Amino acid sequence: MRRHPFVPNLLLPIDADRVRATQSGGEMTGPAETTAMQRAIALAASVLGTTNPNPAVGAVVLGPSGDVVGVGATEPVGGRHAEVVALADAGARARGGTLVVTLEPCRHTGRTGPCTDAVLAAGIARVIFAAPDPSPAAGGGGAILRERGIDVTAGLLAEPARALMQPWLTSVERGRPHITWKYAATLDGRTAAADGTSRWITGAAARTDAHRERSLVDAVLVGVGTVLADDPSLTVRDHPATRQPVRVVADSAARTPSTARILDRSAPTVIAVTAAAPTERLDALRACGAEVIVVPATDNGVDPVALVSLMFAREVHSVLLEGGARLAASFVRCLVDRVVGYHAPMLLGAGAPVVAPLDRESIDAALRLQLDDVVRLDDDVKIVARIGAGEEA
């Protein structure tokens, strides 16, 4: 199994005592249930990026004797939830068995019916889920199942399951998209040379991995400076993808050229401008197929908080920020959840920095991140970190 971007240590041995200490309700779980949850997490990982705006969930059905009789993962939006897929796979063999699932079964009717109804209809005797559903409409399915006489256990491998669903959980718990800031730089933190050249800082393996990161999100966001300097496509090309993310450009004055590759209609494109943008430029962008949205302005251009709020209202629940130093600084100060840095073994000594000043003038004031993973990609190194709870950018 390949490494997973949100659960890099998924395959490490599980501490059984720690697992039992974090569970609540129901009977204690054993090796069969723990192994089933590991498989459910792997199933969820296999569909990450294909289910948005729904969470990527995995489910395993164990028969009464403890053998695996059904498996499933969330289908693309409008399709079945993981529990329904696994129960259909199990068929009559599910009766009297155990459903192991990474997220609490939902109790509401949205694009599909309640998973709790499917569980009851299948004759399941026991449900084990990793993480509770925090959404007001869908959460509480476990309590409904208990009321109907089903044994319910919560918390089995909750930590890796929550890590896997972190983008979706952020959108539910914070009411905004989960934002990953991605950059490529030299060892001395330069994203371009003094003459402006920047292709290619990292090698092919790192670039392929960056495309994989793109494939997981709903939208890719850059500033107009990146469009003018690099003319990127911002599409997923070097990694399999079931859809292309929306391309979003923060462009307060509508300076995006009509010839820019992000206007090639190969993926949806949104240009975020301010009220000061010239009307004729807006008309030209719309004529190229772009959607233009007007966003409140700050001293530095488009207001990042207002922009992500508008994106969230359009069911954009995860964003990959690929902009330059100024845009990165404006987001890191208040919005970034996760940082992915690709570092190449080269030195420039001058050129564009990774991020503009953050107004933190001492080591004590530095924004400290929690390191999640370090991966070697041929000659380059990928570093994954997140802003920890309680940290304010």
Start-to-end Cα distance in the chain: 35
Phi first, then psi: what are they for 153, rounded to 5°?
-125, 130
In 6-97, DSSP assigns E strands to 58-62, 68-73
Rounded to whole angstroms, the Cα distance separating 111 from 157 reads 28
**Residue with tokens 């800082």, as numbered in its chain:** 201
Q: Whole-angstrom Cα distance, residue 40 to residue 82?
A: 9
Nearest 5°: phi and psi at 95? -60, 125
- Answer for the pair 179, 338: CB distance below 8 angstroms, yes or no: yes
Please identify which of the residues 27, 75, 83, 361 carries the catalytic annotation. 83
Q: Which residues, 6 or more positions from 244, have their beta carbon under 8 angstroms from its beta carbon? A: 235, 236, 266, 267, 268
Taking the alpha carbons of 349, 352, 354, 358 in that order, is the dihedral positive or negative? Answer: positive
Measured in whole angstroms, how far is the alpha carbon of residue 298 from the centre of its chain?
Answer: 27
Q: Could you tell me whether strands 98-103 and 126-131 are parallel, antiparallel, or unpaired per DSSP bridges?
A: parallel
What is the rounded distance in angstroms from the CA atom of residue 393 to the CA atom of residue 159? Answer: 24
In the three-class reduction of DSSP (H, G, I as helix; E, B as strand; rest coil), residue 375 is classed as strand
Rounded Cα distance, 245 and 215, in Å: 7
Strands (E), 42-167: 58-62, 68-73, 98-103, 126-131, 151-154
Active-site residue, 83 included: yes
Active site (catalytic) residues: 83
